[in-house]
Amino acid sequence: MFEHLNQQPADKILELMQLFRDDPRDNKVDLGVGVYKDADGHTPVMRAIKAAEKQLWEAETTKSYVGILGDGAFNSAMRTLILADSVAGDRLASAATPGGTGACRQAFELARFANPGVTVHVSAPTWPNHVSILKYLGLPTVEYRYFDNATRAVDFDAMAEDLKRAKKGDLVLLHGCCHNPTGANLTADQWGTVADILAETGATPMIDIAYQGFGDGLEEDALGTRLLASRLPELLIAASCSKNFGVYRERTGILIAVSETPAASKITQANLGFLNRQNFSFPPDHGARLVQMILDDDALRTDWRAELEEVRLGMLKLREDLAAELRQRTNSDRFDFIKDHRGMFSRLGATPEQVMAMRESHGIYMVGDSRINVAGLNARTVPILAEAIVAAGV
């Protein structure tokens, strides 16, 4: 039967990774893959994770299965981290998942369970994997405008206009802090307007959040998510621990659902358990256990927050340095948007031809829409990127 299989489209990020590996130049710069890197180009294991792993190794007595929804202590700790007290606990259902992608997949399937005719509204741009999963599941999508390529900022008037087209029974996929691949984020006031629009249309929002703590701080970065949870009857949250805990390969994620009533929440919880059972049965536990240990231990949590703040401030410094370097080289402020963006990503606004020119002339590797991973820079490579941007005429 395998002779009837069709070739699947190649993943552009994986292709870019291979091109970078094959490039023999010593001064090449990888800004494509969305993984945090330190100044030496290394993705470190966080101090608190190492400490928790040591404690777990000494104390763990079994590798037996955890519950179908994952460990309850992990679910509780993550719900508190993301939502605090913004919504009553008896309105919350949750299930551990294999990473944030697993949470997104489960969320889309849950939405289809609830409304087989669901339409999913996605931002332009969103992550390719969102669209790929939705297409695979056969769910229709509608784009809403998000990014203004001229200003490199959120085109909020257009976004608000498009969101008003959503209707009750639809799912509106939103990006949490630092999550949109452009690096442009909603302000607090804009989140409030989004909440107003969704309350009026009756559409259900879903927030994909993977970078809490990378933008303006742990509490600040949860503002939009908490605001929607406090004001709307329903909300889905797909969260990942890969970035802010650095446990990429442990595939640690969670899907949280806010229902309108406690009774509805119990039914939602049962459906989350059913979906876990159908798709992968018991979720992975090692990364979840480490995250739970850190969040529930004062000393580990304090050290984790301190290192996360070091990461956040380091990325802000790289943004400021790159914007300053470009300001000096161009004698203009047109690249100041880089320091205004938050998190790991920024979209430079370069054409595919300019992206290719930067790769060929300076060994700068970024995806074709000119999204860069700011965390892939360091003090040595900031001037190299700035020189490439100016030489390409961006």
Assign 3-class secondary structure to 309-355. Answer: HHHHHHHHHHHHHHHHHHHHHHCCCCCCHHHHCCCCEEECCCCHHHH
Q: Are residues 150 and 259 in the same domain?
A: yes
State the pLDDT at residue 287: 98
State the pLDDT at residue 242: 97
pLDDT band at 10 (very low <50, low <70, confident <90, very high): confident
Q: Indicate whether 130 belongs to any domain.
A: yes
Q: Are residues 210 and 344 in the same domain?
A: no
Angstrom distance (rounded) from CA 310 to CA 305: 9
How many structural domains comprise the chain? Answer: 2
305-321 mean pLDDT: 97
Q: Are residues 281 and 192 in the same domain?
A: yes
State the pLDDT at residue 14: 81
Angstrom distance (rounded) from CA 19 to CA 51: 36
Q: Which of 78, 184, 171, 82 is nearest to 130 (CA)?
A: 171
Amino acid letter for position 230: S
Q: Check which CATH number belongs to the domain holding 321 and give it.
A: 3.90.1150.10
- The residue segments making up the domain with residue 316 are 11-44+309-391
Q: Are residues 122 and 264 in the same domain?
A: yes
Q: Are residues 88 and 197 in the same domain?
A: yes
Catalytic residue positions, numbered: 127, 208, 210, 243
State the pLDDT at residue 390: 96
Q: Answer whether residue 29 shows pLDDT above 90.
A: yes
Angle between helices 298-330 and 381-391 (to 10 degrees): 40
Q: Are residues 38 and 142 in the same domain?
A: no
72-99 mean pLDDT: 98
Q: Indicate whether 28 belongs to any domain.
A: yes
State the pLDDT at residue 77: 98
Angstrom distance (rounded) from CA 357 to CA 363: 9
> In sequence order, which ranges of the chain are alpha helices (DSSP H)?
12-22, 47-59, 72-83, 99-114, 128-137, 156-163, 188-201, 218-221, 223-231, 262-279, 286-296, 298-330, 337-340, 352-362, 381-391
Q: Answer whether residue 382 shows pLDDT above 90.
A: yes
Q: Indicate whether 54 belongs to any domain.
A: no
pLDDT band at 97 (very low <50, low <70, confident <90, very high): very high
Amino acid letter for position 82: I
Q: Are residues 179 and 318 in the same domain?
A: no
Q: What are phi and psi of 60, to 5 degrees?
A: -70, 135
Q: Indicate whether 52 belongs to any domain.
A: no
Q: Indicate whether 237 belongs to any domain.
A: yes
pLDDT band at 47 (very low <50, low <70, confident <90, very high): very high
State the pLDDT at residue 250: 97
pLDDT band at 9 (very low <50, low <70, confident <90, very high): confident
The token duo for 318 is 């790289």
State the pLDDT at residue 11: 79
State the pLDDT at residue 8: 85
Q: Indicate whether 60 belongs to any domain.
A: no
pTM over 0.85: yes
Q: Are residues 279 and 158 in the same domain?
A: yes
Q: Indicate whether 303 belongs to any domain.
A: no
